[in-house]
Amino acid sequence: MKKVMIVEDDPVLRQKFSEYILQSREFELLAAAATCEEADEMLSREAPDVLLTDMGLPDGSGVDVIRRAAAVHPGMEIMVITVFGDEEHVISSLEAGAGGYLMKDSLPDEFIDTIRQLCSGGSPISPVIARQLLKRLGVSGAPPAFFDGESDPSLLSQRESEVLRQIAKGFSFKEIAGQLEISHHTVTAHVKKIYGKLAVHSRGEAVYKAGQKGLI
């Protein structure tokens, strides 16, 4: 059973998210914090498998929580749940290590499904954020808006590029395996190589870094 930690300053939402976890058979509520300070203290004592965090906290930014959490617990899955959908918050959280980004005003009915998707290799992202990211990454065919001129297509193999493009579209590792007709383990192996070549530690960071380099 995977352990979940929630960082949310709104007591109503914190209770709501906690209840979702408590009612689940596959996830366990490890802790619930309301501030960056509380989150840091809990992270120093506990090792959650999943971190769900808001961006706007009373004593700081959720980006700081994500960055510290990713450093202390590298294997942790991290998802943002927030009202902030601007580019700065989205990109900063992905760079820090978040693998998913959901807007509070468009949370899916099956909330637990998004956590399940995150843990299975997917990148749950609200549609409005996904469109914003895909447009910036040039998935539709246009050059990435933030391409830095350092493209090196040879950095990734053809298959690694295919896998990364599917990750950018939000597909889980299992879905990518089915689409490319390869095993789930092979997809995982490709992702590990992608992380190593791009010097990143999360799916979101890999997509962002690859977009910067003009690789997808």
Number of Cβ within a 10 Å radius of residue 71: 12
Q: How far is CA 196 from the centre of its chain?
A: 18
Q: What is the spatial distance between Cα 135 and Cα 207, in angstroms, rounded to a whole number?
A: 13
pLDDT of residue 152: 53
For 63, residues 6+ apart whose C-beta sits below 8 A from its C-beta are: 55, 89, 92, 93, 96
For 211, residues 6+ apart whose C-beta sits below 8 A from its C-beta are: 136, 137, 138, 144, 146, 147, 168
Instruction: Give me the tens of pLDDT residue by residue for the chain, a chain 216 residues long.
Output: 999 999 999 999 999 999 999 999 999 999 999 999 999 999 999 999 999 999 999 999 999 999 999 889 888 999 999 999 888 888 889 888 898 899 998 787 788 988 988 888 777 888 778 777 766 655 444 434 333 444 455 688 889 989 988 888 778 788 888 999 998 888 888 888 888 888 877 777 787 788 777 776
pLDDT of residue 99: 87
Strands 2-7 and 27-33: parallel
Look at the block and give the residue holding tokens 């202390």. Answer: 72
pLDDT of residue 135: 66
Q: Domains of the chain, with CATH numbers?
A: 2-126 (3.40.50.2300), 141-212 (1.10.10.10)
pLDDT of residue 145: 39
Q: How far is CA 181 from the centre of its chain?
A: 25
pLDDT of residue 141: 42
pLDDT of residue 142: 41
pLDDT of residue 38: 97
pLDDT of residue 140: 44
- Report pTM: 0.68
pLDDT of residue 52: 97
Token representation of residue 212: 């910067």
